[in-house]
Every structure is written in C-alpha cells, then in structure tokens.
Amino acid sequence: MPPLPLQGLSAIVTGAGRGLGRAEALELARLGAAVVVNDYGQPGRDGRGEASAGPAEEVAAEIRAAGGTALAHTGDVSDFDQARTLVESAVAAFGTLDILVNNAGILRDRMVFSMTEDEWDSVLRVHLKGHFNTTRFAAAHWRERSKRAGEPVFGRIVNTSSEAFLAGSAGQPNYAAAKGGIVGLTTSTALALGKYGVTTNAICPRARTRMTEDVFAGVEQPSGTGLDPLAPEHVAPLVGYLASPAAAHVNGQLLVVHGGMVAVVERPRVAARFDSKQDTFTYDELEAVLGPYYADRPVGETFAAAEVLGLRRG
C-alpha cells in the first residue's frame, strides 16, 4: 500500500471541535497526519459561554478510534501566549509542526450603524488576531528549522476567509473586515515564508455549520443518503490537498470551495484608467470622466467575479 499523502506530518487545526474545523481535522488525520485538535469549547457561536474541553477531546478521540494520532488543546488562539503554547505543544508531542489550519472564529452580527465597540473588537480579535497569533509562532518555528538545516523545510498554512469579504455582507461589517484582513495576512505571509519552503493559502468555504445556520436556514438538505451540498465534508479535501506536498507550487492563493466546486479567485485587476490632461486632476475633470463611467454601472456593484461564479451568499 502506498504511503498516505500526509504520513509522518503533524498538523494543528484551530476551531476543530465542531463544523468545518472538525471535518478538516478528520480529513488531515485520514490522510495520515498527527493532529492537534484545538477548540476553546465555548457553546455560543458568539464566543460567549464557559469554555469546555469537551468538543476538542471528542474529535481527538474520534481520530484515535479510527486509528489516527491526535491530542486535544483547549487554548484560546486570540490570546498571544496561548497561541504560543499551542504551537509548542504540537512540537513537543510530535517533534515538529508541519501544517497549520486556522479556522477558529465567532460571530457577533449587527448593522454598522448599531454595532458596539466590543462586537467589533471581539470578532477581529478571534478571527484576524487569532490567525496572526498562531501564524507568528508557526512561522518562527519554520524559519528557525530552515536556518538550522541550511535549506527550505516543509510547512503549510491554510487560512479561512469568507465570501462575506468577496461579495459583501450588510450585517457583518466586523466579520467581513476580519476575513478581508485574513486575505491580506495570507498574501503577506506567503511572500515572507516562501523562501523557507512554507506555503500560505486561504479558502472561502460555504458550509452548513452553527456559524451559518441563519444564512442557510432556507436551504433544504437532500432527502435520502445524498451528501448535503453544504456539508463541511465538501471543504475538507481541499484543505487536505493544500496541506500536502503535492501543493508545493500553490502559494498566496484564495480559493472558494463548496458543494463539489473549487474556484480560484483572481487578484483584483484595474477595470478602467483615466489620466489627467494636466499636472493633476481638477474636480471638474474628475466629474467629467468618473461621472459617466459610474452612471452606467449598478449601484453597489462589487467584484464581478463573485457574480459570474454565483458566489454571492443567499
């Protein structure tokens, strides 16, 4: 039997006690990786409630029952020191860290004119700072290993963005901003770590989880034995591929994934250019060129690619 794609590698998956993170942790284990299942274990999707080791322990036990290797970690990735401990625990348990999947997140939805400071800060802290915290310590680990070895090492980061960033989400200014920030973190990290042998990519998954139960409340699940098009299991294989040696040439990319579909998102391109006929634009000249251009475009139009691919959330 040929070796599994991730045999001998170790991984961290954050937010892995439920939903997408759970499916991703199970998939990495199925592909041969030893997995640290991280989940703070709070019952509310808004990040409220008493933390619990239960969700992480249950998924780790599920992996071990299937013949894999896993341990649970219940630290809060939005805490800098706890993120450090998470990475250190993986290295201590498995000798090294090879794969980091950042998935942990919360929701505190509100229209921008009603949102509180805490609702903004808490979502940015868990999503964006949480992604940074784990990335920072994993990156330092890989850089040190590479310098010690005198050559590139194996490292993979898979970050979790969202279509809320791509196509907009009126009631989620905090979430959309955090997910947009994650894309910026991804592309910057990809450039910084590529020379060390580390790739960094981001996915925009669409899946039915407790985080999206309101969004997909009107989308019925198929009857019978067919897999729900919105099942997290549609997302996990892409994470497994991006975490593997086969994806060494994929770096700094953003991919949308759901229901048996993967779409590669192109970086923004210039749609039109206007040059001043003098040293700098005047108000009247800008009105003369930009006024007609935008007059022919739908109000609030966002990324055309999102519309063409049918990626706008329901």
Q: Which residues are catalytic?
A: 162, 175, 179
Nearest residue to 51 via CA among 71, 72, 35, 66 = 72
